[in-house]
């Protein structure tokens, strides 16, 4: 039997894949990573998390100046939008971070195999005309945009686009329709709304942000409406065409009813993502996908085939970069004979709009199904720092077990919600109670004091409201 080329061969260099490769190499395992893109980092660094945050940040600053918000602070003067420069700083951020992963590969002696991998056996992967044999193979191929039946996305035309195309628009659309009221649609819709577009979100369900706490979803909708984003809820899209450089979208009530045609300059299709398994030839490795196209795994990220592991968007669970990264560390440690664990009950999720919307743990609805609970809330308008910074929209909500006081879930709408949620996740990881958070000294004045006060409210004793 031929020798192995590698101890660990990772397919895919997104957050899960590159972290798994680096940690495996750090643990002394001969490691390679297969990636077909010209740059490392997967969807997240190239066309997802990172470039969208670059545009969210830049558009936020533009909107503050153009809307007159800065003038009220004594910062006066007119501003103009240079969209190409805004795109350039986005591309620069991507270039710097993807190049950083390449540097980390070299530093940790991870070999980058350029091309697309496909199994030819349970321990062998072909890339082009070369074949590589490994003791352990980690599937970390991520996910891609879910298509909407009957609607053809053409990013080059910049009329009907997906999230990748929405990052590259050469001009601000007069009217953008976003199909899907989830995280990606709301983030990218917010970008173009701030830059001057009219934005309409069409959502099949009766509320935005499925999966999040019901009260937080309703409060978020109020905030977005206040910002001028329009919503057509309980509405399904039945078709789309391009006529004279415009998109013509056919919609009707989800429950059935009359069809309405809406005209738009750009339609963004953002109804979710699906696992990337096409072309992997999983059958040749003895693997199959489940009904959702995912690779099933055990608690240690091993598949049904010994020596083949899987992590990230390609396995069940939320499709989040930080979940994939944690799984990357865990799977490498398990391969090395250590104990790699990810607590999937405590995975924070964040919508990077302004304000940010963040949550970790159970929703109030889920918690009530498990037993008696207590809930504490605190509005951001009563937080001194948020009020001073004119960031009064939002709230913090702490859900605790009524008997043990253990924190079961935390939900935040605040300008710094994505950062604030980390404290909640850490408290929950340690099995913390609302009292633990309430009696921990928080610096003043900070937005984080709202979490302390919401925890105090669980016992009915907040100070500043």
The answer to whether 188 and 270 have CB atoms below 8 angstroms apart is yes
Q: Sign of dihedral through CA atoms 433, 434, 440, 443?
A: positive
> Cα(99)–Cα(109) distance, rounded to whole angstroms?
15
Q: In what order do the strands lie in the sheet with 407-414?
A: 349-351, 356-361, 407-414, 395-401, 373-379
> Cα(71)–Cα(76) distance, rounded to whole angstroms?
5
Q: What is the 3-state secondary structure (H, E, C) of the chain?
A: CCCCCEEEEEECCCHHHHHHHHHHHHCCCCEEEEECCCCCCHHHHHHCHHHHHHHHHHHHHHHHHHCCCCHHHCCCCCCCCCHHHHHHHHHHHHHHHHHHHHHHHHHCCCEEEECCEEEEECCEEEECCEEEEEEEEEECCCEEECCCCCCCCCCCCCCEECHHHHCCCCCCCCEEEEECCCHHHHHHHHHHHHCCCEEEEECCCCCCCCCCCHHHHHHHHHHHHHCCCEEECCEEEEEEEEECCEEEEEEEECCCCCCEEEEECEEEECCCEEECCCCCCHHHHCCCCCCCCCCCCCCCCECCCCCEEECHHHCCCCCCHHHHHHHHHHHHHHHCCCCCCCCCCCCCEEECCCCEEEEEECCHHHHHHHCCEEEEEEEHHHCHHHHHCCCCCCEEEEEEECCCCEEEEEEEEECCHHHHHHHHHHHHHCCCEHHHHHCCCCCCCCCCHHHHHHHHHHCCCCCCC
Token pair in block for residue 74: 């004594």
Say if strands 160-161 and 266-269 run parallel, antiparallel, or are unpaired: parallel
Token pair in block for residue 264: 């738009």
HSE on the CB side for 252, CA within 13 Å? 7
Tell me which residues are annotated as active site.
Answer: 444
405 burial (CB, 10 Å; 0-12 / 13-18 / 19+) is middle
């Amino acid at each position: 039997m031929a020798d192995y080329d590698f101890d660990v061969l990772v397919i895919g260099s997104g957050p899960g894949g590159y972290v798994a490769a680096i940690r495996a190499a750090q643990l002394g395992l001969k490691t390679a990573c297969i990636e077909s893109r010209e740059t490392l980092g997967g969807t997240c660094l190239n066309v997802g998390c990172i470039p969208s945050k670059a545009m969210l940040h830049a558009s936020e600053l533009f909107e503050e100046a153009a809307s007159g918000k800065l003038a009220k602070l004594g910062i006066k003067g007119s501003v103009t939008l240079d969209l190409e420069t805004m795109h350039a700083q986005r591309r620069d951020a991507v270039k710097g971070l993807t190049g950083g992963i390449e540097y980390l590969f070299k530093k940790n002696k991870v070999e980058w195999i350029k091309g697309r991998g496909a199994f030819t056996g349970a321990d062998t992967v072909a890339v082009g005309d070369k074949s590589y044999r490994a003791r352990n193979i980690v599937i970390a191929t991520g996910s891609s945009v879910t298509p909407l039946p009957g609607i053809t996305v053409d990013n080059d035309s910049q009329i009907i686009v997906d999230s990748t195309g929405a990052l590259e628009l050469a001009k601000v659309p007069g009217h953008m329709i976003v199909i899907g009221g989830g995280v990606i649609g709301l983030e990218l819709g917010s970008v173009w709304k701030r830059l001057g577009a009219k934005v309409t979100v069409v959502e099949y369900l009766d509320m935005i942000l499925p999966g999040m706490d019901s009260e937080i979803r309703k409060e978020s909708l109020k905030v977005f409406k206040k910002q001028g984003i329009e919503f057509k809820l309980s509405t399904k899209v039945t078709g789309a065409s391009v006529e004279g450089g415009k998109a013509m979208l056919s919609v009707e009530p989800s429950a059935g009813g009359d069809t309405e045609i809406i005209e738009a300059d750009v339609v963004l299709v953002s109804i979710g993502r699906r696992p990337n398994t096409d072309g992997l030839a999983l059958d040749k490795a003895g693997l199959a996908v489940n009904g959702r196209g995912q690779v099933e795994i055990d608690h240690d990220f091993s598949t049904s085939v010994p020596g083949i592991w899987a992590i990230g968007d390609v396995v069940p669970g939320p499709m989040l970069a930080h979940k994939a990264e944690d799984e990357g560390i865990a799977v490498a440690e398990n391969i090395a004979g250590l104990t790699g664990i990810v607590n999937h009950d405590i995975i924070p999720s964040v919508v990077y709009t302004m304000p940010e919307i963040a949550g970790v743990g159970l929703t109030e609805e889920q918690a009530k199904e498990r037993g008696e609970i207590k809930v504490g809330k605190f509005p951001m308008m009563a937080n001194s720092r948020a009020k001073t910074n004119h960031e009064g929209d939002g709230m913090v909500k702490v859900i605790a077990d009524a008997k043990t006081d253990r924190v079961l879930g935390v939900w935040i709408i605040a300008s710094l919600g994505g950062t604030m949620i980390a404290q909640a996740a850490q408290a929950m990881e340690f099995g913390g109670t609302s009292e633990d958070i309430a009696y921990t000294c928080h610096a003043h004045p900070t937005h984080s004091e709202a979490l302390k006060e919401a925890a105090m409210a669980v016992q009915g004793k907040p100070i500043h409201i």
